[in-house]
Amino acid sequence: MNECGECGRILTTADHDHHQVPITVYGDHAHVDEGIADLITACWAMGIRTKQSCEGDPDTGKASISFELGAAEMFVGAATTEELDDPAVYGRSSW
């Protein structure tokens, strides 16, 4: 069966497009798409809280992450060496 060893819930439900794996960081536990699990684990370990993620939209192939309030700026800061007030980095509407 496809159950999580930590919480007992089903990892990948029939209506989900990607295989999910459990992650636990500092006591917080979730099931996330396998292809993005390392990134989400790293975000959580740095205190960058996420709400939802997908390893790739079936139509576009683009991954996505939704962040808790204020965490997107922390992610950009961790992922770039550019200044956060630089419109070329921070002002993108495609995030």
Condensed to tens digits (0 to 9), the pLDDT of residues 65-75 reads 999 998 998 99
Long-range contacts of 64-69 (CB under 8 A, 24+ apart): 65/36, 65/39, 65/40
Write down the pLDDT at residue 93: 45
The dihedrals phi and psi of 90, each to the nearest 5 degrees, come to -85, -25
- Both tokens of 91, joined, read 């002002």
Amino acid residing at 36: I
Sign of CA dihedral 77, 70, 54, 41: positive
2-11 confidence digits (pLDDT tens): 899 999 999 8
- Average pLDDT over the chain reads 85
Q: Which residue has the higher pLDDT, 1 or 56?
A: 56
**Amino acid identity at 14:** A
